[in-house]
């Protein structure tokens, strides 16, 4: 345990070095999402215009359905009816909307990094130097009563309001989504899904209670390490745990044996 306590300052130092890169990665993700959203909106506008300006009077959706029907006639054995397709689309779209929570709001510092990073990246090459320069520029914005931070704090406030508004909308639409799913019959599980469910149920039924030795290893594995605090290999860790278990007296072993018996009774119930 003494050797483990010695590693704590090193872990703290490593965490402080890692934080600038995590902030940089998050800001890059925000920039990417904004560009992606703008691209999707542009594509949707183009597609909507094509659907309205079609001289034959047919929409894009109808042409896509016709192409899908032609493809299904060549080599496809399992043909689905239009009713099955509509059920599938309702389920997939509804589940997709429910599985996509709103994007979490960004802090004022992350908004600042997203705005200043392109400018800083022109004169700075490495990621570490970019994050350091952004941190330095952010510290300078605190001067003059923090006037330089006001625009980014306003952006953070608006972003937070947007997030709370979308959360409220998602909660309000939960009842509608549930009613839509209940009005459509559930889709049949494929053979592979049924087989997978059976395998999972078998694994659950065949679950065995851990032995006293396994409970001992799970509790003391994190304490086994070198004198300098470095981790051991899997084989060396197993050897040391086996030796530690061998050196335990009957009193120490009885604690883990009683716990193993309790686990066995729980699984039996």
Which domains can be identified in the chain, with CATH numbers?
14-52+83-188 (no CATH), 197-268 (1.10.30)
DSSP class of 80 = -
**110-120 per-position pLDDT tens digit:** 988 999 888 88
pTM (2 d.p.):
0.34
In this prediction, residue 161 carries a pLDDT of 92
> For 7-149, where are the alpha helices, taking DSSP H only?
8-52, 60-72, 82-98, 108-123, 127-140, 143-146
Radius of gyration of the chain (CA): 30
**192-226 per-position pLDDT tens digit:** 666 766 666 665 555 678 888 888 888 888 878 77
Asked whether the predicted pLDDT for residue 177 surpasses 70, the reply is no
Contact 97, 90 (CB under 8 A): no
Residue with tokens 């594509």: 43
Q: How confident is the model at residue 48 (pLDDT cuts 50, 70, 90)?
A: confident
CA distance 51 to 62: 10
């Amino acid at each position: 345990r003494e050797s483990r306590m010695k590693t704590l300052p090193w872990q703290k130092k490593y965490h402080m070095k890692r934080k600038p890169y995590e902030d940089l990665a998050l800001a890059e993700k925000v920039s990417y999402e904004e560009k992606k959203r703008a691209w999707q909106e542009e594509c949707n506008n183009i597609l909507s215009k094509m659907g309205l300006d079609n001289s034959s009077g047919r929409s894009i959706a109808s042409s896509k359905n016709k192409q899908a029907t032609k493809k299904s006639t060549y080599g496809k054995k399992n043909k689905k009816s239009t009713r099955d397709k509509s059920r599938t689309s309702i389920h997939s779209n509804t589940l997709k909307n429910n599985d996509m929570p709103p994007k979490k709001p960004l802090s004022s510092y992350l908004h600042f990094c997203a705005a200043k990073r392109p400018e800083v990246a022109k004169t700075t090459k490495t990621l570490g130097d970019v994050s350091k320069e952004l941190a330095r520029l952010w510290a300078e914005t605190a001067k003059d009563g923090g006037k330089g931070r006001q625009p980014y704090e306003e952006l953070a406030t608006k972003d937070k309001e947007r997030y709370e508004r979308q959360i409220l909308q998602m909660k309000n639409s939960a009842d509608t989504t549930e009613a839509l799913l209940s009005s459509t019959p559930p889709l049949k599980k494929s053979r592979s899904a049924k087989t997978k469910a059976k395998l999972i149920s078998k694994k659950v039924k065949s679950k065995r209670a851990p032995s006293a030795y396994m409970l001992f290893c799970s509790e003391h594995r994190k304490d086994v390490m070198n004198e300098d605090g470095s981790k051991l290999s899997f084989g060396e860790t197993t050897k040391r745990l086996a030796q530690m278990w061998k050196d335990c007296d009957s009193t120490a072993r009885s604690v883990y044996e009683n716990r193993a018996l309790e686990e066995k009774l729980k699984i039996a119930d």
